[in-house]
């Protein structure tokens, strides 16, 4: 049923929830904070999965599957890790009709169980590097759920690796963040800031966390994915050691990295408009939808023409679908596919067939034109690529318009309540200055790898060390 969407400029949060519901991406589950990912949302996730899985395998990693349940004692082996996750844990204390001897934690992340297994598999430097990935669901108890962005249960891939040297581990950490950047910028068409997390914001138990931060249209930052150089305390905790090239026992250097179903939420917010979703062509499960417009007299001819065009597009590698639903009017079909953000719509009626053509409608630009069948495949391919570039450029321009380069804390405080944007400033890297931001519901999203814009820290006035991005976040 058609419902008017909330105003995207005035009611962004409500607009987001309605898009997720009306475009049939997800629905509420009976357990608070959980969601049911519907077929169209799942199709988007499968496209992301396919791209990331190819990248993972091309860079020498292998998929494996690890248990959903983790002994509680495993998490307690690394103090920072358990402290970081403790408020979010779901713990099983009873099973099979009796109390368990040891509680089991429902997987919040798999460092501990995977490191336990690494310790069993690793004996020599010849066994390194170990490069494992897992596609799985995880549970982190969420008090303020929002579909795709923050849910108690979500889906992701988590990569875990062990290396002979610290240098190799650093290379791995940077390699994977760059693979993610390619996914997010070149497929999802969302520009990101790449940088390190501060000591307070990094992953619990990491030496270093690299992050990709996107700025949404409402000015809030969204952490798209992370790549971590893990502390060797994990290796020590699980007695994970190997005989090195000199014959001595050494501990490996570890990494982990992940991208989640949050990427779907980012996609919705980054490109959507008052009509609904706008899906970049490279990530779209359906790039072209064909709408046959017929009556009883010409239905067979129109359908045969539509099937022939679909075959051409399929053979050219264009993901195409025909809307066969005869219960809906053409107008209802147009609305349905616009809401779902399909990049191109092709309408085929009797007049189109008589002209040996088809009517092509662009979702992003709204342009409608008649195109001859002989040249339509080439036109579709070029339009899809142009649409991808347009969406990325628009997102870049929007982000640029949201940036405020500021020198002092009082400027941030005075503007953060009312301005839908983010702040670039300079920082001394001391924790007290970071804590001040949290008092105003803002945080340091990442440290930029550039010389500081200002000589003095935005908060304390001491010599600055790095530029940072400051924003409220999801």
- Asked if the structure places residue 1 within a domain, the reply is no
Classify residue 414: in a domain, yes or no: yes
Do 310 and 442 reside in the same domain of the chain?
no
The pLDDT score that the predictor gives to residue 289 is 98
| Count of structural domains, the chain | 3
Mean pLDDT score, 440-448: 95
123, 177: one domain: yes
Integer angstrom CA distances of residue 145 from 149, 160, 343, 449, 473: 8, 27, 30, 33, 14
Do the strands 91-95 and 221-230 form a parallel or antiparallel pair, or are they unpaired?
Answer: unpaired
135 and 81 together in one domain: yes
Write the pLDDT tens digit of every residue in 170-225: 999 999 999 999 999 999 999 999 999 999 999 888 999 999 999 999 999 999 99
Mean pLDDT of the chain: 95
Has residue 468 got a pLDDT over 80?
Answer: yes
* Pair (40, 187) in one structural domain: yes
Q: What is the structure's pLDDT at 84?
A: 67
Cα(39)–Cα(2) distance, integer angstroms = 19
Boundaries of domain holding 225 = 12-271
What secondary structure letter does DSSP report for 124? Answer: B
Contact indicator for 231, 205 with CB cutoff of 8 Å: yes
Mean pLDDT over 77-86 rounds to: 72
Give the whole-angstrom CA distance, residue 12 versus residue 94: 42
pLDDT > 90 fraction of the chain, expressed in percent and rounded = 90
In a domain, 398, yes or no: no
Q: Are residues 154 and 301 in the same domain?
A: no
Half-sphere exposure of 228 (CA within 13 A, CB side): 25
41 to each of 138, 268, 301, 412, how far by Cα in Å?
A: 18, 11, 34, 37
Tokens of 62: 């292998």
Domain contains 2: no
**Pair (322, 422) in one structural domain:** no
Of 218, 244, 271, which residue sits at a domain end? Answer: 271
- Cα(447)–Cα(470) distance, integer angstroms: 9
pLDDT in tens, 396-406: 999 999 999 99
Are 411 and 446 in a shared domain? yes
Kindly report, residue by residue over 373-404, the tens digit of the pLDDT.
Answer: 999 999 999 999 999 999 999 999 999 999 99
Q: Could you tell me how many residues make up the chain?
A: 474
Cβ-Cβ contacts under 8 Å for 253 (sequence gap 6 or more): 162, 163, 164, 165, 166, 168, 169, 229, 232, 235
Mean pLDDT of 234-238: 93
What is the predicted pLDDT for the residue at 466? 97
The percent of residues above 70 in pLDDT, for the chain, comes to 98
pLDDT at 265: 98
pLDDT at 82: 65
One domain for residues 119 and 264: yes
pLDDT on residue 142 = 86
> pLDDT at position 2, please?
56
Residue 174 sits in the same domain as residue 302: no
At 252 the pLDDT is: 98
- CATH number of the domain that residue 434 is part of: 3.30.110.30
Per-residue pLDDT tens digits for 97-112: 999 999 999 999 999 9
Q: Are residues 247 and 187 in the same domain?
A: yes
Give the pLDDT of residue 435: 92
Last residue of a domain, one of 208, 237, 271: 271
The reply to whether 180 and 325 lie within a common domain is no
The band of 72, judged by pLDDT with boundaries at 50, 70 and 90, is very high
Question: What does the pLDDT read at residue 453?
Answer: 95
pLDDT band at residue 361 using 50, 70 and 90 as cut-offs: very high
Does some domain include residue 418? yes
Same domain assignment for residues 17 and 121: yes
Dihedral class, residue 366 (left if φ above 0, else alpha if ψ from -120 to 50, else beta):
left
Is residue 425 in some structural domain? yes
Instruction: Give domain status of residue 73, yes or no.
Output: yes
Residues whose CB falls within 8 Å of the CB of residue 456, separated by 6 or more in sequence, listed in order: 407, 426, 462, 463, 464
Closest CA to 412 of 440, 445, 450: 440
CATH number at residue 40: 3.30.930.10
């Amino acid at each position: 049923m058609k419902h008017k969407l909330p105003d995207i400029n005035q009611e962004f949060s409500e607009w987001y929830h309605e898009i997720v519901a009306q475009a049939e991406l997800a629905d509420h589950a009976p357990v608070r904070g959980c969601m049911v990912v519907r077929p169209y949302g799942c199709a988007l996730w499968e496209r992301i999965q396919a791209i990331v899985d190819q990248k993972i395998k091309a860079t020498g990693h292998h998929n494996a599957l690890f248990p959903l349940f983790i002994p509680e004692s495993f998490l307690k082996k690394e103090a920072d890790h358990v402290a970081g996750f403790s408020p979010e844990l779901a713990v099983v204390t009873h099973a099979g009709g009796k109390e368990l001897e040891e509680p089991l934690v429902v997987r919040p992340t798999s460092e501990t169980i995977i490191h336990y297994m690494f310790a069993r598999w690793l004996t020599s430097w010849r066994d390194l590097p170990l490069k494992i990935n897992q596609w799985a669901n995880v549970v982190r108890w969420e008090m303020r759920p929002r579909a795709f962005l923050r849910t108690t249960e979500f889906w992701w891939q988590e990569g875990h690796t062990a290396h002979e040297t610290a240098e190799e581990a650093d290379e791995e950490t940077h390699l994977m963040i760059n693979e993610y950047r390619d996914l997010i910028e070149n497929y999802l068409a969302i520009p990101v800031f790449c940088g390190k997390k501060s000591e307070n914001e990094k992953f619990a138990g990491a030496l270093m966390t690299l992050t990709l931060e996107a700025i949404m249209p409402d000015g809030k930052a969204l952490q798209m994915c992370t790549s971590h150089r893990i502390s060797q305390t994990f290796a020590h905790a699980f007695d994970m050691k190997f005989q090195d090239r000199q014959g001595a026992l050494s501990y490996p250097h570890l990494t982990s990295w992940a991208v989640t179903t949050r990427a779907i939420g980012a996609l919705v917010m980054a490109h959507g408009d008052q009509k609904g979703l706008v899906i970049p062509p490279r990530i779209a499960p359906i790039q072209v939808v064909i709408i046959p417009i017929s009556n009883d007299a010409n239905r067979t001819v129109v359908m045969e023409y539509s099937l022939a065009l679909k075959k051409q597009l399929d053979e050219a590698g264009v993901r195409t679908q025909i809307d066969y639903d005869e219960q809906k009017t053409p107008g209802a079909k147009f609305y349905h596919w616009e809401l779902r953000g399909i990049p191109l719509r092709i309408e085929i009626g009797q007049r189109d067939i008589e002209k040996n053509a088809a009517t092509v409608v662009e979702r992003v630009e709204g342009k409608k034109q008649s195109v001859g069948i002989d040249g339509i495949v080439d036109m579709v391919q070029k339009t899809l690529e142009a649409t991808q570039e347009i969406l990325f450029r628009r997102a870049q321009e929007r982000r640029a318009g949201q940036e405020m380069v500021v020198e002092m804390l009082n400027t941030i405080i005075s503007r953060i309540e009312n301005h839908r944007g983010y702040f670039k400033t300079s920082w001394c890297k001391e924790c007290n200055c970071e804590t001040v931001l949290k008092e105003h519901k803002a945080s340091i999203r990442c440290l930029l790898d550039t010389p500081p814009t200002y000589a003095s820290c935005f908060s304390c006035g001491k010599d600055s060390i790095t530029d940072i991005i400051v924003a409220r976040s999801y």
